[in-house]
Structure 1
Amino acid sequence: MGPLSAARTRTGSSGEVVKKEIKAPRTSRKLQQMQFAAHSASRLAVIVHLSNGTRLNGVVLASDNYMILLGRNETDATPTLIYKRAITVVTPAHAPEQATDVLDSEAAPGFVKLYIPRTRKRR
């Protein structure tokens, strides 16, 4: 058992001792829940990028541990249900554009080929 887990013992119906491991809730999901709660509370438009390459625009209406509801606006009668496992990135729709500087070819450093030793022989 890990440091954040505990064991609970009980006797089964036939008298055998049954151990059940109780794990603490995953803290990594807390940040994700807070992010979707912030998107849902602000009602600002977001862009949801899916793992198959599709981009969906809309407002996060609700979310739970496994899915989110994305509507075209706050009063959308038929929101889209999206499983979180299909989501790769969620970005604000009106994100400020970042300025990118184009480097001059003279100022750009030359690329250095790195030596990476082989770990096994070629066939």
Structure 2
Amino acid sequence: MKKKEIRPKRASRKELQYQHLASHSADRAPVVVYLSNGTRLQGIVLATDSYMVLLGRWQDDPQPTIVYKQAICLVTPLDTPVLGIDPAITAEFVPIYIPRTRKRR
């Protein structure tokens, strides 16, 4: 009879994402949020939800920004440099790669 292998339980992606955003929310330290369209947002994580992140400029911001988690690529502390992202690119200019397709005959 073969013995069943017992593996330690790994944290799921949702749990890791929740822990990461909860730590930023508890610290109230400024973060940089990079979106999938190339936009870079700066602020403080005020609250998180299953689907959204509430981002404010300061702790008592009367008009915070709601960002869908689906649109977020990366969340880093403000003082951490990110490799591969050019800081000279502004929110107005977002380079988009569009593959060329062959012309149909």
Q: Are residues 1:92 and 2:103 paired?
A: no
C-alpha distance in 1, partners of 2:55/2:76?
A: 13
Q: Which segments of structure 1 move beyond 4 Å, counting only runs of 4 or more? A: none
TM norm structure 2: 0.65
1:35-70 CA-to-partner distances (Å, cap 9, x unmatched) read: 000000000000000011100000000001110000
Of 40, 43, 68, 1:58 maps to 43
1:1-123 to structure 2, matched below 5 A, reads 27-95=12-80
Q: Secondary structure at the match of 1:52?
A: coil
C-alpha distance in 1, partners of 2:36/2:81?
A: 24
Q: Which has the larger radius of gyration?
A: 1
Structure 2 unaligned spans of 5+: 1-10, 84-105
Q: CA deviation at 1:97?
A: 8.6
Answer 1 or 2: higher relative contact order, Cα 8 Å, separation at least 6. Answer: 2
The percent of aligned pairs where both chains have the same amino acid is 52
C-alpha distance in 1, partners of 2:55/2:78?
A: 13
Q: CA deviation at 1:96?
A: 6.5
Read off the aligned partner of 1:81 and give its amino acid letter.
I
Considering only aligned residues, what root-mean-square deviation do their CA atoms show, in Å? 1.9
C-alpha distance in 1, partners of 2:73/2:52?
A: 13
Q: Which residue of 2 aligns with 1:115?
A: none
Normalized per residue, the structure richer in strand is 1
C-alpha distance in 1, partners of 2:50/2:13?
A: 12
1:13-39 CA-to-partner distances (Å, cap 9, x unmatched) read: xxxxxxxxxxxxx82200000000000
Q: Are the structure 2 counterparts of residues 96 and 82 from structure 1 closer, same or farther at C-alpha, using a change threshold of 3 Å?
A: closer
Structure 1 unaligned spans of 5+: 1-25, 99-123
